[in-house]
A and B are shown apart, each in its own frame.
Chain A
Amino acid sequence: MNQNTPAHQEELPPSAITEAQMKAFSGQRLFSLHWEIKVLLYLGVLLLSTGLGILVYENIDTIGHQAVLAFIAILSAGSFFYCYKQSAPFSWNKVESPNPFFDYILLLGCLTFISFIGYLQFAYTVFGTKYGLATAIPLVVLFFSAYYFDHLGVLSLAITNLAAWLGITVTPMRILSDNDFSSYRLIATGMGLGIFLLVLALISQKKNLKAHFAFTYRNFGAHIFFISCLAAFFIGYNLPLTWFLVLSAFAAYMWITAYKEKSFYFLLITLLYEYLGLCTIVIRAFAEINEIYPSIMFVIVSAIFLCYYLIQLSKKIKHDRVQ
């Protein structure tokens, strides 16, 4: 909608700018088709890869495993070769992608590589019963590609695969539905993974090793830790105070770092997760002595207080940069 401003908005006060500037601005501006074309390209890649997948699945009897494997391998190798040829030399800083297709072809290469390893295991059980190995190899390739070719999408893919390797689902829409949070092993894994990702974020920032990856690491890490911690808190509810202390300690750490970096995004999610924990513990405590009004009062007053606090905070941190 940005391009679609009504005519009266385009007029700036003549006192502030020169006539020529005004004419240039209110005259014909270029019309960008950037996002439209990108969405078309993305849809095309999605349809193509899914369609190929279905076609192979339906005709596996006539095609044969070798042919399918060979095709996937060629596709993957070709994509990686193209990326290798096209990409700018490796650097620990941010590298711009050389052309608009680069990102998609790299994505295609990575996805087909995952399929290749999976197919190898499915058809020939190459890795035997070492299922971990079958997921660990794509994992390494994904992380390597994310760093070597500087691709945030592949990095997100690598992190989700890392979590899957450990047995957790972290894709945004399924993080709450697909995980069995009643097992403490899973909760512990989640918290460990969260901390590990945060350490990675810290390293990439401090050592300046792809510093722009830090946000993705920290985002995944914080959410995974908070959700695991709250899951332990809600489901077991054996040691509410202990878990609440763990939650609060982590929240305090997140708060301090976010405050230092003036990241309102992390301040907000920390505040909301911690508030959820706090309300739960208060409501449960009053419920044990069969009281409900004090806890309702508490929620109302604390919510209003937090609103007030957020307003003060947002006057201090005005921008909406995330890190």
Chain B
Amino acid sequence: MIAYNKQSLDSLSIQETARKALFDKYIDQAAYDRIIAAHPVSFYMPNIFARVGLYILTWVAVLFAWGLVGLLLFTSINEEEILYGIAFLFAIAGFFMLELFIREKKLFRAGIDDALLLSSCVALTGALHFIYRENGVMIAATVCIVSLLSTARYADRLMASICYISFLAAVFLAMMPEAMAAIPFTLMGISLAGYFACRKMLKSFSLRHYSNIFTIVSILSLCSFYVAGNFYAVKTLAPVVPLPGLFWALTLVTPLVFIYLGLRKKDVILLRSGLIYIAAAVLTVRYFHSVLPLASAMIVAGLVLVALSWWLIRYLKTPKNGFTYEPLAYPSATDKLNISGLIISQTFGGTHQPSGGDVQFGGGSGGGGGASGDY
């Protein structure tokens, strides 16, 4: 089913584990070298910057090729229907090249395959226009099926995310006018089922090549669970919220439950999701009730956060109950590019240009949501 060489996928995961073990000093360099030598990977996997470059350039080539062919054919046969036929042609050509590159050139997460996969799926969805014809549910269902098949074949995380989201969208749109009251509960049910199914399949040996997929879908299902129960989201759907108490409870308690479970099970996904949704819960409360004036609320929250993190760092100076403050993962590209420096200059250093006569000094438009890129 999967397009990539399975043995290389296995070796890759072993090498990755060995790299972590070496970084944590569980094995020495000699053992590491032996492991790497025993499990060769045949893939072409460029470094992250080459991948980005190849991704951009492939998209440029694909888009211009579409433009060229479309222009040539569309000017000679001036009918709208022909566009869908052309799109189908693009999809076939794209998937053919993708298969060829994977088999012959051994591309794996190399930018070219990422771009070809996404562009071919877009073309295919366009070509299937005769199925949906402006019908929202059918659009979502088509996208869901196309991305599901791509996920099965290429184990791509983006495709899996699109698949999950379009599935929820299809359910949502199908229920929309008639069964509106049941939407939150249905979506929460689907999310929970999706989450537990992912956790279960993550442990399955025969599905081991899809472990990335299950991780990303479990993150998304936690997200959809929270959003489906969030008071603000329900309120936008129905002006008069039935059972307001229940939805307020879900808004406020869910993040805490996530954090509690995350700490108990040492599950980084639950923990980080919980932290993000606490912010969402605070924003939701503030949207409906102004508990404190904005400034005081910010000062109180800031003080609490600083104090809490100060205390945590102190407390975890020596590891307690298996928790530590020391960074354990090996440095990622984010550290190397000094992203944190850029975030600081973006959020704090909102320096306006001193233009001509009037004075403008940096009030700092503290807008940029700096605190995300750490997954």
| B1-23 interface code vs A (CB 8 A; 1 in, 0 out) | 00000000000011011101100
**B351 contacts A164, C-beta separation under 8 Å:** yes
**A44 contacts B303, C-beta separation under 8 Å:** yes
From A7, A13, A48, A215, contact of B338 by CB (8 A): A215
With A156-B345, A215-B338, A311-B46: A47-B301 Cβ-Cβ less than 8 Å: yes
Contacts of B306 in A (CB 8 A): 41, 44-45, 48
9 more CB-based (< 8 A) A-B contacts, given A32-B324, A44-B302: A21-B27, A25-B21, A44-B304, A47-B302, A121-B361, A131-B359, A160-B351, A292-B71, A311-B110
From A7, A12, A160, A292, contact of B345 by CB (8 A): A160
Q: Is the interface of B mostly helix, strand, loop or mixed?
A: helix
Interface size for chain A: under 10, 10 to 19, 20 to 34, or 35 or more residues?
A: 35 or more
**B327 contacts A107, C-beta separation under 8 Å:** no
With A33-B324, A34-B325, A320-B333: A1-B269 Cβ-Cβ less than 8 Å: yes
Closest Cβ neighbor of A215 among chain B residues: B338
Shortest beta-carbon distance from B230 to chain A in Å: 20
Shortest beta-carbon distance from A107 to chain B in Å: 7
**A30 contacts B324, C-beta separation under 8 Å:** yes
Q: Which among B47, B203, B319 has the greatest number of chain A C-beta atoms within 10 A?
A: B47
Interface residue B40 (Cβ < 8 Å from any Cβ of A): no
Interface residue A43 (Cβ < 8 Å from any Cβ of B): yes
From B67, B329, B350, contact of A32 by CB (8 A): B329
Interface residue A278 (Cβ < 8 Å from any Cβ of B): no
Closest Cβ neighbor of B316 among chain A residues: A33
Interface residue A291 (Cβ < 8 Å from any Cβ of B): no
Shortest beta-carbon distance from A105 to chain B in Å: 11
**B268 contacts A1, C-beta separation under 8 Å:** yes
Contacts of A42 in B (CB 8 A): 370-371
Assembly CA distance A111 to B71 (angstroms): 55
- Give the segment of B57-65, B135-143, B184-192 that binds chain A: B57-65
Q: Which among A156, A169, A293 has the greatest number of chain B C-beta atoms within 10 A?
A: A156
Interface residue A29 (Cβ < 8 Å from any Cβ of B): yes
Interface residue A98 (Cβ < 8 Å from any Cβ of B): no
Interface residue B197 (Cβ < 8 Å from any Cβ of A): no
Chain A residues in the interface with B (C-beta under 8 A): 1-13, 15-17, 21, 24-25, 28-55, 58, 100-101, 107, 111, 114, 117-118, 121-122, 131-132, 134-135, 152-153, 155-157, 159-161, 164-165, 167-169, 171-173, 178, 215-216, 219, 264-265, 267-268, 271-272, 275, 292-293, 296-297, 299-300, 303-304, 306-307, 310-311, 313-315, 317-322
With A30-B324, A55-B296: A310-B54 Cβ-Cβ less than 8 Å: yes
Contacts of A49 in B (CB 8 A): 302, 348
Contacts of A132 in B (CB 8 A): 354
Contacts of B177 in A (CB 8 A): none
**B353 contacts A168, C-beta separation under 8 Å:** yes
Q: Closest 9 A-B residue pairs measured CB to CB? A: A51-B298, A48-B302, A44-B305, A118-B361, A47-B302, A314-B50, A320-B47, A44-B306, A303-B61
